[in-house]
Amino acid sequence: MSELRYTSDHEWIRVDGDVATVGISAFAQEQLGDVVFVELPDIGKKLAKGAEAATVESVKAASEVYAPVGGEVVEVNGALVDDPALVNGDPTGEGWFIKLRLSNPSELDGLMDEAGYKAFVAARG
């Protein structure tokens, strides 16, 4: 399974076996503007669904990135520390934040698929 699923806080998650990659959506990075700083969690940190996983700061403001589902941090994207603009340039690819080993895969069920998220964003305006 490689399709993206989304939260209402504009994170995306892509599941590969029992590990999932997490980042922020193209819409979220556009709303933030130029990203200038990313703070990532320690590897091994256990996150509950909805817990603060990372911090992302644009020129204007700081925002939190929340864990879309619960799990243990098994990898972080260190490239973002030196080049935070990756989040703007490739939010759902090279701009990923963390990889989580899922603690409860059933939590994925409540997330939006691509079409659902698109409708969610459109309804915001």
Partner 1 sequence: MDAARDNSLRRTPLHGLHEELGARMVPFAGWSMPVQYPTGIIAEHNHTRSGVSLFDVSHMGQVSLRGGDAAAALERLVPGDIMGLAPGRMRYTQLTNEAGGIIDDLMVTRAGDHLSLVINASRSDVDLAHLRARLPGVEVEVRDHALLALQGPAAAAALARLAPGAAALGFMSAASFDLDGCPATVTRSGYTGEDGFEISVPAAGAERIARALLAVEGVRPAGLGARDSLRLEAGLCLYGNDIDETTTPVEAGLAWTIGKRRRAGGGFAGADTILRQLAEGAPRRLAGLLPEGRAPARAHAEIRDSSGSPVGTVTSGGFGPTAGGPVAMGYVAGAAAEPGTALAIMVRDRAVPARVTRLPFVPHRYVKKT
Strand order in the sheet with 52-58: 35-39, 52-58, 62-66
Question: Among the residues of the chain, which ranges form H helices?
Answer: 26-32, 79-82, 86-89, 114-124
- Partners of 98 in beta bridges: 22, 76
> Is 51 one of the binding residues for partner 1 (CB under 8 A)?
no
> Could you tell me the smallest distance in angstroms from the CB atom of residue 110 to partner 1?
28
> Could you tell me the smallest distance in angstroms from the CB atom of residue 32 to partner 1?
10
> Is 116 one of the binding residues for partner 1 (CB under 8 A)?
no
Q: Which residues bind partner 1 (CB under 8 A)?
A: 33-34, 36-37, 39, 55, 57-60, 62, 81, 84, 88, 125
